[in-house]
Structure formats: C-alpha cells, structure tokens
Structure 1
Amino acid sequence: MNDALTNAVLAGLADSQYPANNFLGPRLLTNSQQETIWQELKRQLADCRGFAWTVAFISADMLAPFKLIMEDLAQAGISGTLVTGTYLNFNTPRVFRELLKIKNLTVKVTPGPLHAKGYLFDHDGFQTAVIGSANFTRSALLANQEWCLRISSKDQAGLTSRLKAEFNRLARDGQPLTEAWIKDYELGWQPGQQHMLHVKHASSSIKPNHMQTEALAALDQLVKSGQHRALVVSATGTGKTYLAAFAVQAYQPRRFLYLVHREQIAKKALASFKQIIGGPASDYALLSGGQRADPAAKYLFATVQSAARDRFLQAMPKDAFDYILIDEAHRAAAPSYQRLMGHFQPDFWLGLTATPERMDQQDIYQLFDYNLAYEVRLRDALAEKMLTPFHYIGIRDYEKDGITSTDASSLRWLGASERVDYILKELDYYGYDGDQPRGLVFASRQEEARALAQSFSQQGHPARSLTNQDSQAARQDAVQALEQGQLEYLVTVDLFNEGIDIPSLNQIVMLRSTQSSTVFIQQLGRGLRLFPGQTFVTVIDFIGNYQHNYLIPLALAGQKISKDQLRQQLSRPDFAGLSTVSFSRIASEEILRSLDKVKLDALKELKEAYLERQQELGRVPLLMDFARGGKVSPLLFIENKSLKHYGAFLEKMGEACPMSSYESQVLSFITRELATGKRPHELDLLKELFALAARGKEARVAGKALQKRWQALGFYDSSDLRKSLASVLSLDFFNVKSGKTTVKDQYGGEPIVDFENNADYCLNPKLLDPSPAFRRLAADAIATGLFLAKNYDASRQFTLYRQYDRKDVCRLLNWPLDVSRPMYGYRITNQVCPIFITYKKEEISEDNKKRRRSAVYDNQLSDGQTLRWYTRSPRHLDSAEVQELLSGVAIGRQATQVLVFVKRSDAYGKQFYYLGEAAIVPGSAKEELLGAKKPAVGLDLKLRQPLTPRMYDLLFAD
C-alpha cells in the first residue's frame, strides 16, 4: 500500500508517468452525468474505519441518504464526527435535530463564522481528504458546479497531521450538539435569505415549459398532417392538464368535451382550462352526477359515467364536439369510454395518461391510431425540474428471529406492535420535508391497513385507513384532513395509485410487495407534484422476503434490463436530477435473493414486452424496434437460449415466418453469434452482400474494397482479422462438438460466405433469392447488431469495460477455432493470454463441486490496479506455460500479452468485463499450495489502465 500510495501521489502531483492508483491519487471532483461528488463521498464512507468532517452548511434534503449509510456503518461499529456552525443562520434547527437522530455521529457546533468544507476519512494505514467548495447540501453534492480535491496521504504525512490538528482544534472548541442547545438556538434563529429561495410563487401568466412546448409542436404537426387522434404520455405532476389547455387553445375548437372518470378531476381541469384560455364563465360547464350542464357551453367537462348515459347521448349529435379529450386515457378501453368513442365523431381525439401500460393487455395506443405525440417519463420530468425530487430509501422490513415479511405473512405478523414500533422509528429517523409528516402508506391488504392506522393513531401519529369500501366523500374528507394537518398518515391498499392529487405529501411509505413496475412508479409519483416550499419527498420502502423484489430496481431503471444490469443498479444506484436512490446492505441482499430466482428473459416476460411494443407501434415489432425504444433490450431476445432466432419468437406469438430449414439455421447463426454487436465486421460484410443480392447484382465483395470500406468506417483491420472473418463466415470456427453434432452443423454445415482465391467474399448461392421472411428478419438482426456495435470501439479488438464471454474472446482474438469450452480460466496462444477471473468465489453455489474447488483461488485486488492471480494446478515455476508467461518479464519486455476479464461472481452469468492489458510484476511469481495442497503459481498483474471508481464499485467493492 505504501508504494501504491507514493506512486499515486507522484503521478498526480509530479509526473503522470508514475503507475497511478485511481483510488489513491489526487483527483479533481466535480458533478457531471458520469460522476457526482456525493458518489465519491459514499464510496469513501463505505470503505472507511471512521471519518471527521467540517462542513459549514448542511441541508435537510441531503440527510436521508446519509442516514441510510450511517445505519449500515453502525452495524459495522463505525462512527464519525461532524463539526459545523451557525454561519448566516443557514443550518436550521430542524437540520440539527435530524443530525441528533444519528447515534453513531458526534456533532460539534463551533462558534464564529465557520465556512470550511472538508471531509476526512480514516482507512487502514492512510487517510483520504476531500476539500473544496462543496457543502453538505443536495445541490452542492449532486448538481452545482463545484470543485473539490481528493487526496490521500499516509498516517505520518505532514498534510494528514495538519488536517487532523485543525479538525481537533475546531472540535475541541465546539459545543456538543444536544436538544438543550437546539432549543436555545431555535429561540434566536431567523431564516436566512437562502431559505426563501425554494418557495414557489404563483405566476399571473402561465406559459408552456420546455417539454410542453415540444409536445404542443408535435400535436400541431399531427393535426396539420391530417391525423385525427393522438396520445400524450406525461408523468403525474408534469402539468399535463395545462398542456391539454394549451393544445385546445391552439386548436380553437367550436365545441370541446373533456372526459374523465372522477368529478374531482373534472372540476380541477375546468379551473385550469379557464385560467389558460379565459373567456366568460358561461363558456364553461360541468356535467357530473350532481351537476346538469348548460348544453350551450363551449367547453364541457364531464365524468364518463354521466356522459355515457342514454339521455345525454340522445341529446348530442355525433358531431356536437370537434375536439374531445380523454384524461387518464389508459382507462379508455373500458365499455363506458368505448360507448362514447363509438358515438361521437370529432375532428380530433386527444388522450392523456401517465401510465399507458396496462396489465390486462388492452391496446391503448390502438385507440389513438398509434400516434404517440409526446412522452414525458418520470426521469425526464425530474431532470427538467418539473417534479419535486425524491430520496428513495430501501430498507429491510421488520425482522425477528431471522424472519422478515413475506407475501404470505399473517395479519398477526403485519400488525404486530413490535413491527409498528419499528416502522414508526424508521419513519422518524429518515424524516420528511416540513413541519409534520404528511404520509401516504401503501399496505398489502385491507385488514393490515386498518390495523396499522389504528396503531399509528394510538402512538400519537393520527392516521386513517382508506380502502375501496370507503365512499368518495370519505376519501375526500380524509385527504382534506391530511392536508390540513389533522392527520399525519393515510394508509391504503392500492387505492391511490392514480387520480389522487395531494401535493403536500412529504412521505411515501411502501409496506407491501412490489407486484408491478407500473404500479410501483404510480405509487412513487403520488408525492412528486411541485408544492410551495417543499424541496424533497422521502420514499421509504420496507423490503421483506418478497418473490418480486427484483421489480424495484427494474422499475427505477425505467426499462426491462438484464440481471447483470439490475445488479449494477443495486451496487451503484442513481437517478435523474436531484433525486437519489439508496438501498441498505441487507435490503440489497433481499433483492438479490429474489433476482436469483427469476428469469428475466423468460418467454412470459418477453411476450409481455412484445405486446406492449406492438401496441405502441401498431404493427409487429422487430428487434430494431426494441433497440430504438421500448422497455426491453433486444439482447433479451438475442441471448434467450430457448429461441433459435427472433422469427421463432414471432411464430410463438402467432405470426407466420415461413422459411427453409437452411435459412432458419443461417438466421440462428446471425442472431446468436453476431447480433450482439461485439465485432461489426461480419455484420457489415453480410449487410453489403445481402444488399447486392436484393438488387439482383452479383453478391461478391472484393477483399481490397472491404479493407477500404473498413478504413473509412474506422474499423480495426489486420491480416489475422481477415482470416478470422473467413473462418467465422465459413463456419469453420464453429467446428466443435455440441452434443451429438457440431455447432457448425447446427448452423447449416456449409459456408455462409465463401472466401475465393484469397481475394473475394461471395454469398452462398442458397441465400441469393431468399424467402421474404428470411430477408426481413436477417436484415433486422444485422441492423440490430450494427446498432448495438455502437456501444463498442470498432477500431480496437476489445473495448475497455465492455462485457465479453469466452467465445467472444476466442473470435475477437482471431483464433481459428472456438476453444472456449475447455479454456476455463485462461489460455496462452500465439503470445496472447486472456485471463478470466471470478472475483467473489464465496458466492458460488455450494452444490457445484467443480466450481467450489475454484474457490481456493483468492484473486485479490490490492490497490485498485494490481490483482493477485493464480495459474491452474498443479503448476510449478518451471512449468512450460508459466515460463511462457514469465518470458521477458524480468527485463521489462514481457513477451506474452495478458488480457484481463473479470466478473464479480458466477451469479452474474457468463459475461466478463474487459479491464485491459496487464503487466506481470517482476519478482511476484511464487509457487503456492492451494486447496488440497496442490501447487499453483501466483502472479501479480498490474493493469495498464487503472480501474475507474465506477468499475471498482461494480466488481470489487464489498
């Protein structure tokens, strides 16, 4: 560590040629899309043995995620000290009270105008300091243009000694934070000007925001192009009612009808439209169960229940309205809406919804002619500051004797007094923005909701349960009581997933299993509407032993992604704008357990994604449709072992894809071996050959012409690559056993492309006049592969930090044969040695003996750049392959190129991250006895490219 630290400091401050450790060297920290200062502080906290901070300003909106980390640190017996002050009255009495809740944090308040911002972390044998402009506020740590310097030093270093001495002086002179001190401070505290910045004042003139302007332009274009229907998807709270009013104002209809399922929403919409459009009050009318509308009104706002009645429809001709808007349009497939849509014939129908996805598979997009005019999802809205930022806190549900809540937990467990005590303690600990909690609690069943509301109230937190058995008047009364502060919590069972407007909510509490990503986002969005003076919403998710826990990171990702990507979400959660996502260590383990039991690329999951995309497009979607949009990656189809190709999936969905057996085999080859896009060369050649054949020309490409084409495209090229291309497309590369046949035979057994006279590439004559289905699906697979290839650097064999499996590596190293099956951990061929390392062997299944034996290889990352790696056993220092590896190492001329591929554990599948080339450290080779006392040789591998913090977190962080 001493040498690594010394080199890192020298590389940062003296000469960049020193072998730097990315985690120890000096580094300028800023906020960007790739990295924030908060992420660095989180990383340091997770690895520290203690910390000492001096921070002038602290905001309540940054304390929730900090508290979660502190709770995890408390479990490990780690504590810290914070010195802050009262400069400019920035730190509120509430902030000090929230800090007092953190039991493993000692807080000192120093007199005088403290304006320092420094974060000092103790590690084993060294310290890391982060010093600069960033206070402990959400804006400073996540968004502002801040500069902070991170620098590490040894215990005995002068910088460390000076920092500690200065901190100790401040702490010694500081006043311990106590409730008595806070009360005295509160008496004289006056809010500084900065505390008034968040209050939003109503504008006398409402104008479209950036996203509304884009949506209005898209709607205008649809109208001008002669379309008669359109759908706008806009997250709850993003101003879709104002957007609708602006759209209607621009259209200037003769008569307008607004339809929605609830009178409360219709009333609010009427007020918003009147505010935007203006005009006399007589132009506006409300039609509902208790209201009779003026038939002459220009703008009619109606509940669908009233508008669908015979009396109303019989009085209204089909062309009574030239513009009709359906709010909450995901309900438009219901019979009452369909009756209205069947009766009226306006010039234009507009649908508005926050969640077009329906679990009953009704095609909402079809109802609006598949014209998706605009889409504002949750991430977009948060990034555009259209919603209140949230802090999501995922913690474990109440645990007793090693048992947590499950989907089958009894009411006796869910309503137990010990569980209620635990819930209330956590709600108080993570807090809320405001003077008192205004929380919406989602419970798992009605009996639980009633029991929790009663227990909350008995413990001094007034609460009321609401279920579908309560009347609309009772619901409105409860919401009003919450907004007026008479209640602190409403406890419900999926009742308020949509159609409820409680802008003052400051806590969302989830006490139920997540059964749907859509419902999760609906519930999350309940409290995100902008509200004067409110800067954040706390979302607390109590995660039990639920079967569908994996849906939580899936919903937060906003897309159906692979298991590996979901694990990344857990190891490094992030979100848009000023929102944060945090999981406790134990909650993460609960989610990982549920993730291990599910198959995300199962046909059921893919069918749901297919039907959803089909509804959006109004036609059969192809792989490229998933690449360009939708909520599923095309790789989930491509890598599904039960599917030969996408055509096989389409046939399961009832779509005929007639093609010959040989065409099916070739399509399978293109899909499984090439369409992942890890090398674009084969795809580009096939694209050109198929295009020539389709135009009736000779399907032949000259080798020299291909080289020029690759040069123009910036593709990597070499004579070995061209030999590999011929080997792959002739299928000779796949002439390896797979069951009773070879892989080559499974792909047709004959060359797809012939390499003639070492000069030209020619397409197999069987593919010159293919079936329409093959032509379409092959072109789609090739286009998708080339689209995915944009994620890789085509000018190199491998792209740093991208994923490859063993077969990919064999092909990209231009080896003549796929030898991935017998390769195991490494293989030396032509002075190149790819090494495959599974870092955390302890996560391997206990019932797999072959893999369990490999757990004796302890591949440790010592400094962020150097890995201890072991050969297979038995091997000795004088073994031929060891000598080949060590050739030239002692004199600095390593003969064998070592390429390092790493995955965190076997639970992460077959894909390894490419960490680049590595140099064998001279003198590090030692013969060691491993496992059953068999000898192996250990070597230190120093990565030529030091790991980035992101990759370290993903692969090596505990």
Structure 2
Amino acid sequence: MESRKANLLNAYERGFIDRFTTKTSHYPPELIINTKDENVLSPMLDALESCQSFEISVAFITEGGIASLKTVLHELNQRGVRGKIITSTYLNFNKPKVFKELLKIPNIDVHITQQVGFHAKGYVFDKKDYSVMFIGSSNLTDAALKKNYEYNLKLTSLDNGEVIQHFRLQFELLWKDSTLLSEEWIKSYEQTYLENKPDEKVLQLIETKKPYRYDNFNLEEITPNLMQEEALRSLEELRLSGEKRGLVISATGTGKTYLSAFDVRNFNPSRVLFIAHREQILMKSLNDYRNLIGGDPSDFGIYSGSKKDIDAKYMFATVQTFSKESHLEQFPKHAFDYIVMDEAHRSSANSYTKIINYFEPKFLLGMTATPERTDNNEIFGLFDFNIAYEIRLQKALEAEILSPFHYFGVTDYIVNGETVSDTSSMNELLDQERIQHIIDKLHYYSHAGEEVRGLMFVSNREEAHKLSELLNQKGYKTRALTGMDSQEERQEAVVMLEANKLDYLITVDIFNEGVDIPSVNQVVMLRQTESSIIFVQQLGRGLRKHVDKEFLTVIDFIGNYKNNYLIPVALTGDKSFNKDSLRKDVVGGSLITGESTINFERIAQDRIFKSISKVSLDTLANLKKLYHYTKNKLGQIPTLVELYKDQDAMNPMLVLNKYDHYVQFLTKIKEETVPLTNGQDRILTYISKEIVDGKRVTEILLLKKLLNGPVNKSEFQRDMKEHNYYMTNETLRSIIRMFTLEFYTQQKRKKYKYPLIEVDGEKIYVTKEFRSSLKDEYFRKQVDDLLELGLLQSKNYDQTVQLTINEKYSRTDVCRILNWEKDESSTMYGYKTKHNTTPIFVNYNKKDDIDESVRYDDRFLDSHVFQWYTRKGTDLDSKINKEIIEKHEHDATDIHLFVKRDDDEGVYHYYMGEVSIDMSSTENASIGLSEDKHKVAKMNFILENPVDYNMYRFIDGEK
C-alpha cells in the first residue's frame, strides 16, 4: 500500500506539476478526448474489464452506448463482478428501449433519479485497493464515447482519497433517493415518454448525429453525399479525357444507384439502359431514378421476362432476358447513349459481355462493391481499366454515409469442451442447447429500436429450414429462404420482414448482394467465414441508413473454424496479411471509424488468435491470387509500387519477405521476365532485403542520387538536414558501411557479394559491377521500382528521429540504425551496450513450456513504467549491468526498449522509445524453481513517451 501511495504521489506530480519527472509514477492523471488516434471508450473499457465493481452516474444513455460495453459486461458477469448505474429521465432523452436493454444485463443494478437538472457524467471502476475515475463531459452514448469532442479527466485514487470518498457519498445519497429499474417502472415510463416525446433538435444537439438523408423523396431534398460528389467529378474528368467507359467501386449502402442517376442527370442522354440480374433490383432502381430525375412516369420502363416497355427512355432490363439475341437485335447499336451495368463484377459472364460487345454507347458505367469476386476474370478490361472512383467500408463509415455498427464476435456453443467446427454434423448444429445458446445471445446483444428485423446467414439449405422450424417453436417468427425459392417468394418474405410480420429471414448466400432492405437492424452469422468478401457483403445487408435504425447489430458466432483469421481482414480492411497486424486488429476494437465498435468475447478472440497462428498467409497460391487481382485491374504486370498503392492488393513486402526479389516471384508464377546476371540477382536481393523497408529514408535517397552520378558527402548531409531528416556524421558512416557491405556478417557478405558503392575522399561512387548492371533497362526499372517502394514505406516512420515509436525493428535493424559498426545481433542476447546506446529486447509473453529459469516477469506496470529483469546469472554487481547503470547515471548511454508480444512475431520487436532507470527501484532478485534459483537484477524503466492504449492492450492483454 505504501508503495502504491508513493507511486500515486509521483503520478500526480507528473500530471499536475512536472511532466518530465523521472520518478516511478503509476497511473498518472490524463485528459482524454476523442480524436482520430484515441477515444474515451478505449481506456474506459480497459478500466472496466479489470475492475472488481463499478459505479456509473450519467444523465443520458443510448442503446449504442450500452452496446459498446456489453461484451466486457458479459465477461465480468462470468467472473461474478457487478456494478451500479444511476441515470435519469432528464429531458426524456433516454428512450424506454434503453431501460429495457439495461434490464437485460444481469450483473448491473440500475436506479433512476428524479434529481432536478441531473446532468452528471462520472464513471468509477473499483480495483483491489484503489479506483479509476472518469469525470468529464461524456454521457454513456456511442457518440460521446467515440466521436464527439469531449473532455474527460482520468484519475486514480486510493480508497481513502477525499475525492473518491466524496463521489461515493454523493452516489449513495442519490442511490437511496432513487427508483429501482423494473419492468413495471418501464411500462409507466413508456406512457410518459409517448406523451412528452423529446424534441428531435434537442436530441441531435446532445448526440450531434447527422439526420437521416433519404427518408423522403422530395426532389429538392435529394442531393449527392460527399462521396457521390467526388465520384461525379471523377466521372466527368474521365469523360473529358476522352474515355467512354468507367468503373465505380463503392461499398454496399453508399448509394451506387443514386450516384449513377446523378451522373445520368448530369450527362443528359437521349436514352439510358440500366442492366441488373434481378427484377427486384430493377424496380428499386427505376423508382430511385424516377424520384431523382423526374419527368413523365411513362419515360421509365422495365424490360424483363414478364414485362417489356420497349420504348422507355430509361429502360431497366434484366440481363437474362436482354442478352438473348432475339431481344438485343431489336435495338440499333447506338440505341442507348448511356448504359449502366449494376453489380459489374458479374460483367465477365457471357450474358453481360454480349450486351457490352453489342452496344456502342457514348458512356458505359460499371458499378460494384466487390470487384474481387471476379477471381481472374477480366472485369477491369471490360471498362478499359478506368477506375473512376473507389470507396470502401472504412472510408464510407468515416464519411457517415453508412449506418454505424456494433460487431459482437461471440463464443459458439460449447459442450464437453467441444464446440461447432468445420466438421460439425447437422445434429450438432441444431442441438436444442445450441439453439437456446443462440437465443440467449440474440436477446443479450439485441438490436436498435423496438422491433427486430434480422437476417441470419447459415451454412446450407437444410440448416436454414430446420433452424427456422426450431426458432418458430420458441416463439420467433422466421422464414427460411434459399436458392430454391422464386423471386416472388423472396420478395414476399422481404415485405413481411419490413412489415414486422417476420423477425428473421434465414438464408444461405442468396442475400449476399442485390437485395436492399435498409430497415435490417441485426445481422447474425451462424457459419464460418469463407471469404472476407462474402463477410463484408453480408455485413453490408444491414449498413444502409434507415430512419428507424440508429445502428446495426452484428452477432457473429465463432466456432473452431480454420478461416477465423479472415474476420479481422474483413472488419478492418487490413489486406497486409501480416499475422501480427491481424492480431492487433482483433485486440484494438476501436480501429473502426466513428461510432462503430468491434467486440470479441474472450474465448472467441482466442479462437481467432489460434486461427491466425496456424494459417499460412504467404503461400505461393495466396500471393499469386492477390497478385492477379491487381494485374487484371491494371491490364499489365503491376510494379511493386502499384501493388502498394492498390488498397485491395497484397502488401508487396509479403513477396519481398518470402522471396529474394520481385523478379524471382514473377518467375515462380510463370510471368514473363528478363534473365538476370548473377550480379544483378544479388544486388536486387540486397536492396529488397536491406533497404526497401524504408526504416531509414536517407539510405534510399543516397542510392537514388548515386544512380545519377557521384555524390559529395558534405553536400548530401546538408541536403538531408535541410529536409529535416535525421542525419549525423555517424549516420552517414553507417550508411556507407552498409553499402560497402562492411556492416554485415560474413554470411551476408557472401550472400550479397557485390558492394554497391566505393568512396574516394569526399566523393561516393557506385561500384563498377553496379554501374554496369544499371545499363540494362529491365534491371534499372526493377531498382527504380524498389527505391520508390522504399520511399513509400519510409512514410510509415518518423524520419526526423532515429527510431519510430510503435514501429517494428529486428536486432539487425537496430544495430544499423543506431550506427553500430557491425551487425552484432547474433551476440546481443537480449541487450548490449555499444557506441553509447543500449538496446533492450523483451519477449513479453513467454511460452508455457519455456524453462522456469528464464521466465522473467518483464511487464508494464502501467503506461509509463516497465518492470525489467536482467540476464540470467547477472545481478547489480555484474559488469554488463553495472556498465548500463553507471553510464546511464552519467548520461553516457541512451537506453532503447523494444518489446514483442510473443514468438509468433518472429524477429521483430515494437519500439517503445527511450527509457530512464528509476534508480530507487534497482534491486537484486532471483528467478527459477526453489531448487534451481538464478540471480538477476530487477529495475523499473520510466518511458519517455507513455505507451498508447491500443499497443498496451495488444501487448499486455493476454498476460
């Protein structure tokens, strides 16, 4: 207790008196606001999930605010942790549904105060002998926790602190003088609420939500949204450049049909043809066009198997009917000035290509949310490789074009330690206890609004029908829909869902695309994730905005599926296929833009981690598939830079990490390449392996200058400093030793063989071998491509300093960037002092089977303090440790801390920044079993920059 008291005193000194103090200071006070890089919700969840009880006092609560906490509250309930919430009916802001949702959560007690003008916003999370408080401006609403500009002070107090005692006293007074939430109270409040419904303007002022835009069809009201405006400008520029075809890639729900209608209105064609694969889509599209463009209703017509408005100015045709020669040949080739191909990823099918090849319009527009569905088909070539505009899920959420969503990755049913997997039988999937488990989760995670309008996706037709029967027996109103049902039956079911005559439509894949049900407020996934594309398509069924829907609830039942790794790929759009990055995406649920959240129950999260660990993401087959997507998009072999810039392509570093260089990969997949000489092969390998990562941009810039002639050392240094890049005499010497290969081990010198440069006094030249190779045009293009990629990669790092916090480095990287003369990574053994620098490498989560003698308890004590143990068999009197401490006391060495989460991250560690030693914390200790103890030294490091929340959560979360 005394130690914690001292640390808190130091923390308040850091927070309110001197931020540069080097004292160990646990839990300093922090001002928390919602920005692009941080939000109120993240640290609040961190405090909530590790508490032993909690008290929340807030005036306003929304369903989305409750949803943001539900997964953590579920985990707390599993541990028997309870909490209390006091809220109010002030301004009648809190809807009756909010109180119903609160009543569903078994481990919270809720009271409603009638305190006049109640406007409190306080959160207290009680630990063992201290509490964490959030006091400020954030109500328990999704907007306040993640989006609104809010000020909140995070404070830590021991139990005897005056502020915390005052809070508890006031809380208890309110608690005793307030009403217990109950079903009877809610019924009474519902009547009061209906009679005194709050003003919408007041609600918007509190929540700062944008009003729903397309809830009516007054022509004066319908205007392009931000993304549509950008796309319309891009389409116009495309036509002005002489192009006659263009493709728009736009996430589901972002208004592709309206975009095409806006562009048609701008183009003002004599006649328009709109092609889709379902009549249901045509009817919706026809109505949208008619509402926007206006004119005589007879100008708009359908051409399908059942109806043929052959003279319509705006013709909406099914591809199945219109592609038949007997129908096509009724029309001249120039009959339509403007043709729209909806769901353009289908365009490579014969029926679509027949129409495209037959007509000669002034402009052909393709629209799709998922061009990746084409596999290796030439969709992009059909539109002359002109991508007019591209907007994906993350960008659409940021622009608030789509409904926000709360995703819950929940644990599928477990019995006798076994759960649903890839091989589960139908009996296991439809087990009565699993059905009840599904119902319990649907009830707990719920939906926005009073009535559920849900879509359930299952694995096969039999499961859809039997699950529907079982849920209907439980009192739900559901209907199974499969590919065996007609369009009329599907449309009838959709109408019933929208009219609240059905709670759920249960389907396999027929609703992945081409179905528009904006009122859907819950999507349930009861199947493994087969592909990230299908996942996003199914998610997209509920992302359209609707006047009755504040957000979408997504409930994903996660079993032991081998493809679970695709879930973070789909949710975050992370196409790097880097395992470490995917794990961070799972832990960092706040990575989704705006009010949306990603939440995983603990067991479900573990299943995804296991899937990530087991899967091979850089197989040749996978790389080849990703590569061909970009090749087809461009119509040619893509460069590394083009792969990097394509947001849907693979990260080119996947190729360069696995193969010696890009040409080697292209040869592997049987692309046409030019044979390389031995020298060219080794030089490309060197640049690919040692320079292109961009961790030190000055290396790349020196090499680029050298390609055009000799470089003067002093002039180069001056130029780098003028651009504010980190550059010293030692830096330049280090770069030279790299390019001459003197820095590297004997093994690497043998591998690379040919130095790139030679130095004569003040001048640096490329070597004869390199200069000769550069005369080859193909080789020169490969080098230029690598260096341009390196410049793009370098933007991930702060080039004004040596090392960038939160970025990853290997031991070899660190030796090089800290300007060591040699690569001494093989003899670093966790840490080493050299050239006035001491890099320290920590493997945070040791494996269970590791020897007890090296199972150190290295860990973050909080965001500012890291507890570190020295090498086995050394203590404070050991030469290596004495040198670190003594040099540090005399400012003669800089200590750099690098941490990796576990061995799955390979050779790379995250850079945590420079640290100082808290000299009062240094002590001798011992580790290992009682019969085999080993001496070590223990000390605390004070981080110069506190570790940010998401990194802290990622590294420390599993310990």
The residue identity in structure 2 corresponding to 1:616 is K
Match of 2:904 among 880, 904, 907: 907
Deviation at 1:79, TM superposition (A): 1.5
Q: What's the TM-score once normalised by structure 2's chain length? A: 0.95
- 1:526 matched residue in structure 2: 541
Contact preservation (8 Å) 1:59, 1:95: yes
Name 2:742's counterpart in structure 1. 732
- Letter of the aligned partner of 2:637 in structure 1? V
Partner in structure 2 of residue 286 of structure 1: 302
Deviation of 1:283 after TM superposition, in Å, equals: 2.2
1:493 maps to which residue? 508
Cα deviation, residue 20, structure 1 = 7.3
Between 240-249 and 23-32, the greater mean CA deviation after superposition: 23-32
Partner of 1:864: 863
Distance 2:883 2:21 in 1: 27
Q: Secondary structure at the match of 1:290?
A: coil
Equivalent residues in 2 for 1:285-324, closer than 5 Å: 285-294=301-310, 296-324=311-339
Root-mean-square deviation (Å): 1.9
* 1:396-795 to 2 correspondences below 5 Å: 396-561=411-576, 562-574=578-590, 575-632=592-649, 634=651, 636-637=653-654, 639-641=656-658, 643-653=659-669, 654-690=671-707, 692=708, 699-736=709-746, 742-747=747-752, 749-757=753-761, 759-768=763-772, 769-795=774-800
The more displaced of 491-500 and 630-639 is 630-639
Query: Secondary structure of the equivalent of 1:357?
Result: helix
Gaps of 5+ in 2: 205-210
Residue 376 of structure 1, CA deviation? 1.9
> What CA distance in whole angstroms lies between the structure 1 residues aligned with 2:265 and 2:564?
45
| Shift in Å, 1:923 | 4.5
Matched, 1:897 2:894: yes
**Could you say which residue in structure 2 is the equivalent of 1:202?**
216
Q: Tell me if the contact between 2:859 and 2:868 (Cα under 8 Å) persists in the aligned partners.
A: yes
Asked if structure 2 preserves the Cα contact closer than 8 Å seen for 1:86 and 1:109, the reply is yes
Q: Which residue of 1 aligns with 2:366?
A: 351
Aligned with 2:816: secondary structure? helix
* Corresponding residue number in structure 2 for 1:953: 953
How far is the alpha carbon of 1:661 from its aligned partner? 1.4
Is 1:254 equivalent to 2:259 in the alignment?
no
- The answer as to whether partners of 2:679 and 2:754 remain within 8 angstroms in 1 is no
AA partner of residue 754 (structure 1):
E
Alpha-carbon separation, structure 2, partners of 1:331 and 1:380:
24
Comparing 749-758 and 549-558, the one that deviates more: 749-758
**Stretch of structure 1 that moved more, 936-945 or 782-791:** 936-945
Supply the distance in 1 between the matched residues of 2:766 and 2:329 (Cα, whole angstroms): 70
Task: Give the superposition deviation at 1:92.
Answer: 2.0
SS at match of 1:338: helix
Q: Deviations over 1:732-753 (max 9, x none)?
A: 22233xxxxx211111x23211
Alignment deviations for residues 815-865 of structure 1 (CA, whole Å, 9 cap, x no partner):
122121232311122332211011111xx273xxxx546642111322332
Q: In structure 2, the residue corresponding to 1:530 is in which secondary structure?
A: coil
Of the candidates 916, 919, 922, which is equivalent to residue 922 of structure 1? 919
Alpha carbons 1:22, 1:948 under 8 Å: kept: no
| Deviation of the 1:228 alpha carbon | 1.0
Counterparts of 2:142 and 2:109 in 1: how far apart (Å)? Answer: 21
Secondary structure of 1:901's aligned partner: strand
- CA deviation after TM superposition for structure 1 residue 570, in Å: 1.2
- In structure 2, the partner of 1:54 is 57
The C-alpha deviation readout for 1:15-61, integer Å capped at 9, x for no partner, is 33434778722222221111111222112112222110101111112
- 1:87 matched to 2:101? The reply is no
CA deviation profile, 1:593-639 (whole Å, cap 9, x unmatched): 00001122222222122111122222211111122233345353355
Matched, 1:174 2:178: yes
Change (3 A) 1:78 1:657: farther
Whichever residue aligns with residue 729 of structure 2, its letter is S
Alignment check: 8 A CA contact 1:365 1:616 kept: yes
Instruction: Report the residue type matching 1:577 in the other structure.
Output: G
Does structure 2 conserve the Cα–Cα contact (< 8 Å) formed by 1:651 and 1:657? no
User: 2:862 aligned with 1:878, yes or no?
Assistant: no
2:802 to 797, 801, 806: 797
Distance 1:99 1:244 in 2: 43
Aligned to 2:207: none
* Structure 1 runs not aligned, ≥5 long: 693-698, 737-741
Answer whether contact 1:498 1:522 (CA < 8 A) is retained: yes
| Secondary structure at 2:249 match in 1 | strand
CA distance in 2, matches of 1:100, 1:836: 48
Aligned residue for 1:915, secondary structure, equals strand
1:817 aligns with 2:826: no
Q: Is the 8 A contact 2:345 2:374 kept in 1?
A: no
- Describe how 1:134-283 pairs up with structure 2 within 5 A: 134-190=138-194, 191-194=197-200, 201-204=215-218, 205=220, 206-283=222-299
**Residue of structure 2 equivalent to 1:64:** 67
SS in 2 for 1:924: strand
- Whole-Å separation in 2 of the counterparts to 1:682 and 1:15: 39
Tell me the equivalent position of 2:937: 937
Distance 2:396 2:732 in 1: 48
Q: Does residue 834 of the first structure (1) align with residue 831 of the second (2)?
A: no
Which residue in the other structure is 2:408 paired with? 393
1: distance between equivalents of 2:863 and 2:916? Answer: 14
Distance 1:945 1:559, change over 3 A: closer
Cα separation, 2, equivalents of 1:633 and 1:826: 35
Deviation at 1:759, TM superposition (A): 4.2
More moved, 530-539 vs 23-32: 23-32
SS at match of 1:351: strand
The TM-score normalised by the length of structure 1 is 0.95
Cross-structure match for 1:341 = 356
* Equivalent position amino acid for 2:68 in 1: P
Supply the distance in 2 between the matched residues of 1:416 and 1:149 (Cα, whole angstroms): 49
Task: Give the conservation status (yes or no) of the 8 Å contact 2:741–2:749.
Answer: yes
From the superposition, tell whether residues 636 and 515 of structure 1 become closer, same or farther in structure 2 (CA, over 3 Å). Answer: farther
> Which deviates further from its counterpart, 908-917 or 935-944?
935-944
Contact 2:843/2:899 (8 A) holds in 1:
yes
- 1:15 and 2:18 correspond: yes
Q: How far apart, CA to CA, are the structure 1 residues paired with 2:547 and 2:944?
A: 52
Q: CA deviation at 1:640?
A: 2.5
Residue 624 to residue 524, structure 1, CA distance change in 2 (3 Å): same
> Is the contact made by 1:689 and 1:763 (CA closer than 8 Å) also made in structure 2?
no
Separation (CA, whole Å) in 1 of partners of 2:24 and 2:833? 28
**CA distance in 2: counterparts of 1:378 and 1:766, whole angstroms:** 45
Q: Distance in 1 between matches of 2:839 and 2:916?
A: 13
Equivalent residue for 2:133?
129
Q: Is the 8 A contact 2:135 2:152 kept in 1?
A: yes
Alpha-carbon deviation of 1:408? 1.1
* 2:749 counterpart letter in structure 1: K
Structure 2 counterpart of 1:284, one-letter code: F
1:132 Cα shift? 1.6
The residue matched to 1:925 in structure 2 has which SS? strand
Structure 1 counterpart of 2:639, one-letter code: L
**In 1, Cα distance between the equivalents of 2:357 and 2:652?**
41
CA contact 2:245–2:386 (8 Å) conserved in 1: yes
* Identity rate, percent: 40
